[in-house]
Structure 1
């Protein structure tokens, strides 16, 4: 799996927004490493800098200083829809008759092609194959006919899928979360303004205070003088579709998402894992870094139950090696695991070991880790996973392997155990995930672990009644 995107928007009283946006993008770097960009507005015109690469590579000192104005939006991208090139890098910006528009998008539309074809037939010229430009064109068109709030609502009625957006229309910054709240977005207060961001860690970086999450279906308009924000609840669905994998893997542990601290959720998932499938062993160790919080909760629950298991760091990570998922071939991915993780022999030699991780996707890493530990003398290697088996792809903004590549698609847990050569293997149940998140299954997006999605996706099953928006050139917004 690869990360989703990170979005941010800032409105300040009397200082340039570029540097706070730049720091915020660093805080959200884990959500995307393909490109980074900032668009600001000085009250007269837009200023934009968007480049490929990490935040530190995309921006030089002069680039940040050239972005004038107290309002702006930013984006870090890992592509889940559209090409991997500069034309799909964000924020996407455009000038039109009613002013200028900048847009940053985290998520994925499932009816982007329908809307693109309809807009192209009306004369819109597209410069990329990404769904973000589709949103921008549709919103720009609606702004020619409607006020800001009604234009946003009209676009939301047409687009179908997951999205958290930060938008800048001239010198006004907006935040929008899709009606089912699949992607995270929150509001923070700074000493001299307000911020919208994918995760609260960006707010912490600026010494701000988390105000609250943006509600599903809500539009937030930051006042251009940085003194506050206005809220418009444009849609109110019966159920949400929060992505449970934000808490399992993607978000930073120090972020608060949907009122839950990610670190504590992961520890609770670890406790649930022990309760469901705890196994007596000499050592419990995390797969760094994603398994650490799970392993901590698992070991704590084991100790509370009277087990004398030792919690230890038995795998050391080489932080100067790139992530294994960017390796293009299977052989390179296998080699990268050995470059990336090195076992501590004294911790595992002659012992039974339980390793805790957040997920198994292809199975390559798990197989290599089990073999590494056995090579240095582990007598038994038990694997515990803090999430259910991933059996289906994600259409909501996670670049996940296809069904053919997912090891759990079509295989039983015991068949997977044999494949990775573990002495035992257990996953966490869906009910345990819902319990740890203090949520009901009906309010979570569980498509990747059930094969049933909260959105109407062609060729896939849905877990709820979904009404797809009609593609129409006529406004469907009521006068109220």
Structure 2
């Protein structure tokens, strides 16, 4: 899996995956609602943005590198005709960091046109690519999205839409939430274990599929429900209704718990749970498991805010919740840090301590994760330089010990500080007075689910998919396809 480390925009921490959207409307162009939806999903990918629409006669596409606001002009949106369309924002986790892998990916073939947007990562993309190349398919990128598109286009030659999607689902393995447009029909598909989120919403004049419910809120829509694992949703061409096909039945899910911990917007609802409340409850659990009495509890902005709020709430009277670090919002996610010295300086550029909150006090600082440990070390030192007597760090997730193969741009084992170090060792490296992580059991308890129904590969080293060289935490035999 390519993780983008050769890019000058590589992030020294966790980075988002991708965001997808699909819209079918009754009597107005889809381009602007798609554009607004992508803005709502911008946190899920900042490398490229794209929209593909169809007016009943032909397909229109505009895909560019960069943020949503930079990728589209008013003329670009006006040129995207039609009442149906799909959109995508990308952060690369498989494939190159260039325009060839930007999405949605478009294919024209004998049976019409196809647009496809993908959030996730296939674990058998190379195998399917080789098979398709042997049958004469020519690829223009090294991304797994094009593999899905070519396989689906081939199956669509038989003419049956639902059967074609089912055949492709039978071949691809890994995590995926897809929005697909075949001519002027928009569809949404979620992988059989539901690793990636996908929701369905109702608008006044149509329906929308999106990675997160925040995109539906942006359009003044109403969340209908989550797309079920293994389900295909087909939107009516006039936006009046939708059809559901449960194509795959699985005994267990593999929901990505990091959607709740970090990736999703706090105001999104995923699998029936408001992300903000989940994070607050995780903060309360963090206090129950490893709370320590200090003068001040403060978040790392913005990632630790909801956790710190819940933690301080559980701690009760006598513990002050305060903002002790101010974030410079003009130092964006794409800040270039080519040398170690500049990476260390980046923390000072992004965060500035409020000394009156910190000086002479014991401090608990709360964040969602520690990846390499470099930033945590700098944060602790920043607080001590500002006069903190003690700095205790609490993390609202278990320690990350292994890479992600499911579409999160994380890191290799060599780069993950927890892969070969104990909690005590990490505490010493970051120079904190104490350090504690949240337990896996607390995650499962708050999400009201069994551990086996979560993807925990990055914190256990055991994966819900069959990955070469890695352990699996379950039977990964072929899932049961409906009507097999």
TM-score interval for Structure 1 and Structure 2 normalised by the shorter chain: over 0.9
**Match for residue 473 of structure 2?**
463
Q: Give secondary structure in 1 for the equivalent of 2:146.
A: helix
How far the C-alpha of 1:14 sits from its partner, in A, is 0.7
How far the C-alpha of 1:479 sits from its partner, in A, is 7.0
Q: Give secondary structure in 2 for the equivalent of 1:82.
A: coil
Tell me if structure 2 keeps the 8 A contact 1:2–1:325.
no
User: Which deviates more, 431-440 or 115-124?
Assistant: 431-440
Tell me if structure 1 keeps the 8 A contact 2:247–2:482.
no
Unaligned segments of structure 1, at least 5 residues: 470-475
1:448 partnered with 2:458: yes
TM-score between the two structures when normalised by the length of structure 1: 0.97
How far the C-alpha of 1:93 sits from its partner, in A, is 0.4
Which of residues 203, 219, 229 in structure 2 aligns to 1:190?
203
Separation in 2, partners of 1:265, 1:169 = 37
User: Which deviates more, 153-162 or 431-440?
Assistant: 431-440
Q: Give secondary structure in 2 for the equivalent of 1:38.
A: strand
Which of residues 389, 398, 411 in structure 1 aligns to 2:421?
411
How far the C-alpha of 1:146 sits from its partner, in A, is 4.2
1:294 partnered with 2:307: yes
Q: 1:200 to 1:222 in 2, by over 3 A?
A: same
1:348 partnered with 2:358: yes
Moved over 6 A (4+): 476-480
Q: Give secondary structure in 2 for the equivalent of 1:465.
A: coil
Separation in 2, partners of 1:150, 1:207 = 34
1:241 partnered with 2:254: yes
Tell me if structure 1 keeps the 8 A contact 2:248–2:481.
no
How far the C-alpha of 1:323 sits from its partner, in A, is 2.8
How far the C-alpha of 1:329 sits from its partner, in A, is 3.7
**Match for residue 472 of structure 1?**
none
Deviation digits for residues 442-474 of structure 1 (CA, Å, limit 9, x no counterpart): 1000000000000000000000000258xxxxx
Tell me if structure 1 keeps the 8 A contact 2:86–2:115.
yes
Unaligned segments of structure 2, at least 5 residues: 1-13
Which of residues 157, 162, 177 in structure 1 aligns to 2:170?
157
Separation in 1, partners of 2:421, 2:73 = 49
How far the C-alpha of 1:236 sits from its partner, in A, is 1.0
1:126 partnered with 2:139: yes
1:314 partnered with 2:314: no
Trace 1:40-51 onto structure 2 (pairs within 5 A): 40-51=53-64
Q: 1:157 to 1:329 in 2, by over 3 A?
A: farther
Q: Give secondary structure in 2 for the equivalent of 1:408.
A: helix
Trace 1:131-210 onto structure 2 (pairs within 5 A): 131-210=144-223
Deviation digits for residues 131-154 of structure 1 (CA, Å, limit 9, x no counterpart): 000000000000002400000000
Q: 1:278 to 1:440 in 2, by over 3 A?
A: same
Deviation digits for residues 279-326 of structure 1 (CA, Å, limit 9, x no counterpart): 0000000000010000000000000xxx41100000000000123785
How far the C-alpha of 1:276 sits from its partner, in A, is 0.1
Q: Give secondary structure in 2 for the equivalent of 1:134.
A: helix
Separation in 2, partners of 1:296, 1:29 = 25
Tell me if structure 1 keeps the 8 A contact 2:27–2:83.
yes
Separation in 1, partners of 2:36, 2:106 = 21
Separation in 2, partners of 1:52, 1:115 = 27
Tell me if structure 2 keeps the 8 A contact 1:325–1:333.
no
Separation in 2, partners of 1:448, 1:49 = 35
Tell me if structure 1 keeps the 8 A contact 2:53–2:60.
yes
